[in-house]
Structure 1
Amino acid sequence: PAAALAVVQAAILARIARSALLDIAREDFMRSARAKGLSRRAALWRHGLRHAAIPLLTLGGLQFANLLAGTIVIENVFTLPGLGRLMAQAIANRDLIVVRNGVMGLAALVLLLNFTIDLLHGWIDPRLRMRAEADVEAEGAA
């Protein structure tokens, strides 16, 4: 069941990771790292992976919501007990309180994850922190 959920999402994530790393490999700072004597692999691990992590984090956050939606189908197909099966049974039984609370809980979980990813973006990419600080200073001056 876990493989049925993860294979499609892992393939998408791997394709985006490859594309991001290929784009990063062509950047000037990567050429500088290679000119310093680092191998291609070492340059990608030391310098490129941090830059490639930004689109991967974004995609991972988007895929999380898809994984939650996929659990409803997977838990029903494999007759596993879980939140997805509970939601499907609540919908079938027209138990609106369980459906409402389940949807609100899952929405809060997705929002919390997206907020965490936004914070991680600022930690990974210092340009985002500098832009936010400049925006705050501009608002204070106005």
Structure 2
Amino acid sequence: MKLTEVQEILAKSSQEDWIVDDESGSFTYKNDLNLHIDRADFDSYREFNEPWATSHPDPHAVSVEYVVKYGSSFVDKHTLVSVDGHRATLPMPKSINDLRVTESDVNFAKIVNIGDRVDEYLKRARLVEVEDNE
């Protein structure tokens, strides 16, 4: 599988296309079992204190690393932010002052977020979804 194919799958697939084991933080692509995403262990989460992430009923937010692999080969790494006491996992905006997030980053968050609350929390956090080339 080529890198561009993996990027397309991550940008366009839905969580239903993945075998999800939330307990272990493992996501395996159903159409090619060599493609998988691994969530970092809980003890590696880092406190995250940007206003967009802490302005929820539960202000606790942490950054979480997700590693994409094909077989045993590293493909990519994504840092997402778990907000509101782990009620949603959101992509990182471009900066603390530029709250734009790309469509592909939002889709990645939807793949790994347990529950269907990404869109709701994007609005709550005032994150703005933009096309990938912006």
* TM score, norm. by length of structure 1: 0.21
- Greater C-alpha Rg: 1
* TM score, norm. by length of structure 2: 0.22
Q: Counting helix residues as a fraction of each chain, which structure ranks higher?
A: 1
Q: Counting strand residues as a fraction of each chain, which structure ranks higher?
A: 2
